[in-house]
């Protein structure tokens, strides 16, 4: 007995699967970069003790990076358990927070978070259109998305 999946459900499955993948990879980037920020600050303060003072601002920056990484882990766990319209808002917030730190891995993860938020918002609004040329997005094969206007594959993240 085989079960047929409606095209809307298949589109949702593809978007949800790709969003979880993107959120996982971005969370890893955020956690690794938070560790690098903290370790680099400690190494610089121990080598250049007289020139480099970590002080309050350094501690505040470390706390900020750690808080963003913890928030990213919470959103990742949430994305695996259940996805809703609210998840898109949290993914957008993580993208903006990553851009505020200004480091390479946070910026790379932020772009992925912003893309995942865009596609979650598109899916939950009921109209999946490409951001480039506003072409409709359709299912290609069983696990890919394609822009019907430009015939290009759509990538989430």
The 10s digit of each residue's pLDDT in 23-59 is: 999 999 999 999 998 898 888 777 776 665 667 777 8
Helix axes 85-101, 7-47, angle to 10 degrees: 30
pTM higher than the cut 0.95: no
20 vs 155: which has the higher pLDDT? 20
Per-residue pLDDT of 132-150, as tens digits, reads 777 777 777 777 777 777 7
> What angle is formed at CA 142 by the lines to CA 136 and CA 146, rounded to 5 degrees?
25
8 A C-beta contact, residue 148 and residue 136: yes
Q: Burial, 117: exposed, middle or buried (Cβ in 10 Å; 0-12, 13-18, 19+)? A: buried
**Alpha-carbon span 61 to 127, nearest angstrom:** 40
pLDDT at 123 over 80: yes
Average pLDDT, the chain: 83
Parse the chain into domains and list their residue ranges.
Answer: 7-127
């Amino acid at each position: 007995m085989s079960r047929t999946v409606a095209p809307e459900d298949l589109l949702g499955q593809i978007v949800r699967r790709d969003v979880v993948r993107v959120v996982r990879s971005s969370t890893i980037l955020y956690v690794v970069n938070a560790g690098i920020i903290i370790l680099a600050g400690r190494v610089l303060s121990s080598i250049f003790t007289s020139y480099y003072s970590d002080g309050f601002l350094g501690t505040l920056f470390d706390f900020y990076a750690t808080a963003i990484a913890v928030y990213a882990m919470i959103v990742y766990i949430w994305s695996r358990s259940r996805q809703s319209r609210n998840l898109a808002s949290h993914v957008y917030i993580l993208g903006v927070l990553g851009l505020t730190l200004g480091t390479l891995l946070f910026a790379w993860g932020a772009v992925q978070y912003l893309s995942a938020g865009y596609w979650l918002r598109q899916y939950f609004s009921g109209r999946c259109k490409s951001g480039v040329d506003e072409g409709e997005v359709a299912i290609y094969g069983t696990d890919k998305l394609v822009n019907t206007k430009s015939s290009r594959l759509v990538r989430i993240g």
